[in-house]
Amino acid sequence: MTDHYINGKKIDDLEIIISSEQINTRVREMAELISKDYSGKRPLLIGVLKGAVIFLSDLIRYLTITVEIDFIAVSSYGNSTASSGVVRILKDLEQSIQGKDVLIVEDIVDTGLTLNYLVDNLGSRQPYSLKVVTLLDKPDRRKVVLEPDYCGFTIPDRFVIGYGLDYGEDFRQLADLRVLDE
């Protein structure tokens, strides 16, 4: 097996901040809570591409309710360390959300600028309800008042890769979350 390196460090040597077992347990717990909260309903889960794909896939496997899924892709302009808050929709939804219970499924809430834009944009489309589900929350970096309705883990202000989160489109496939120090 070939060793993989990033910034001169072996991937296997990077600190695991959340193990695959912890992720699996927490995603199952979140699915149980969402299933209870939406019992008798058919919510639409909107995955924010690309990072939330793995989380969304695992989450819906544990749900005990019927759901619909759709995807949205956005790009936030700015440099690599700070979002400008200017957001462009790269791929919009394929269906109307008017009158539906909607859950935005995100991989990580960081500054909150992009998610705040999505909440405002999707909210203007008249859903019956609109809530946010995130695997990770980094409140120390928040620039807007925004609290996810369902949160897997709160993490410190560190750059993480794995479980859908990438560095230059690499390392999404890692089963756990690892810290990539600068």
| Mean pLDDT of the region 125-151 | 96
The span from the first CA to the last CA of the chain, in angstroms, equals 26
Instruction: Count other Cβ atoms within 10 Å, centred on residue 180.
Output: 18
Listed in sequence order, the DSSP H helices in 12-171 are 20-37, 53-62, 113-123
> Which tens digit of pLDDT belongs to each residue from 15-24?
999 999 999 9
> Which tens digit of pLDDT belongs to each residue from 23-43?
999 999 999 999 999 999 999
pTM, rounded to two decimals: 0.91
pLDDT at 80 over 60: no
* The pLDDT value given to residue 88: 86
Residues carrying an active site annotation:
110
d(CA 167, CA 144): 24
Q: From start to end of the chain, where are the E strands?
A: 5-6, 9-10, 16-18, 44-49, 68-76, 87-91, 101-109, 129-137, 150-154, 160-161, 177-179
Ordered by where they begin, the domains of the chain are 20-155 (3.40.50.2020)
